[in-house]
Amino acid sequence: MSDRLEELYRGVLEEIGEDPEREGLQKTPTRAARAIQFMTEGYRQTLDKIINGAVYHEDVEDIVVVRDIEFFSLCEHHILPFFGYAHVAYLPNGKILGISKVARIVDMFARRLQVQERMTQQIALAVQEALEPVGVACVVEAKHLCMMARGVEKQASNVSTSYLTGIFRDSATTRKEFFDLIQGRKTYA
């Protein structure tokens, strides 16, 4: 763990008028440093390490969907959390990916300072790179604390983004099949 990060968090506590030596805050710089390192571990991961050989040759011709993949990320503009669900689909072209690897790809990009739009695209393009499928679709739905807890303070707002490649972009029928498959997905009240 970074001693520098701990010192920076100690400085933040002092700057907001807190006493870092107060009983409840004595370990906060250490805990906060560990938390930010965990929330940004995606910078220290690569697609090859995430996949770790879990690409399998299969003669499968139907859409594979992994939906309701929970994630937490940090908005790069305010370093406040945004969180929600990712839904990822691909149409195989002779290769499939271990299902847990799809969730790990989501986490790799979520655990960076992000904007949701770019994260959605990165997830789809990583699956495209790993498998060279006929197409990839990714939808991300999230709540952003930078919008809920500050600024306009709209707690019920949700943000949805999508990124489509190949047949999901080119074929209205395939695109509709994907969106039908993720209907009934988790949403926020």
Which CATH number does the domain housing residue 25 bear? 1.10.286.10
Please tell me whether residues 13 and 73 are part of one structural domain.
no
Lowest mean pLDDT among 11-25, 73-87, 171-185: 171-185
pLDDT in tens, 33-90: 999 999 999 999 999 999 999 999 999 999 999 999 999 999 999 999 999 999 999 9
Is 116 among the catalytic positions? yes
Residue 186, domain member (yes or no): no
Please tell me whether residues 79 and 121 are part of one structural domain.
yes
Residue 123, domain member (yes or no): yes
Please tell me whether residues 30 and 52 are part of one structural domain.
no
In angstroms, the CA 109 to CA 93 distance is 24
Among 61, 70, 76, 129, the one annotated catalytic: 76
Mean pLDDT of the chain: 94
In angstroms, the CA 51 to CA 23 distance is 44
Residue 187, domain member (yes or no): no
Average pLDDT over residues 153-181: 94
Residue 188, domain member (yes or no): no
- The CATH number of residue 139's host domain is 3.30.1130.10
Contact 42, 107 (CB under 8 A): yes
Residue 16, domain member (yes or no): yes
Please tell me whether residues 77 and 162 are part of one structural domain.
yes
Please tell me whether residues 27 and 110 are part of one structural domain.
no
Residue 6 phi, psi dihedral angles, 5° rounding? -60, -45
Is 61 among the catalytic positions? no
Is 138 among the catalytic positions? no
The pLDDT score that the predictor gives to residue 188 is: 53
Please tell me whether residues 26 and 111 are part of one structural domain.
no
Please tell me whether residues 25 and 59 are part of one structural domain.
no
Residue 83, domain member (yes or no): yes
Please tell me whether residues 71 and 134 are part of one structural domain.
yes
At 97 the three-state DSSP class reads strand
Among 6, 87, 114, 116, the one annotated catalytic: 116
Q: How confident is the model at residue 185 (pLDDT cuts 50, 70, 90)?
A: low
Please tell me whether residues 76 and 132 are part of one structural domain.
yes
Is 57 among the catalytic positions? no
Residue 27, domain member (yes or no): yes
Residue 160, domain member (yes or no): yes
Please tell me whether residues 57 and 32 are part of one structural domain.
no
At 33 the three-state DSSP class reads helix
Please tell me whether residues 132 and 60 are part of one structural domain.
yes
Q: Domain residues for 157?
A: 47-181
Q: What's the number of domains the chain is made of?
A: 2
Is 78 among the catalytic positions? yes
Please tell me whether residues 26 and 116 are part of one structural domain.
no
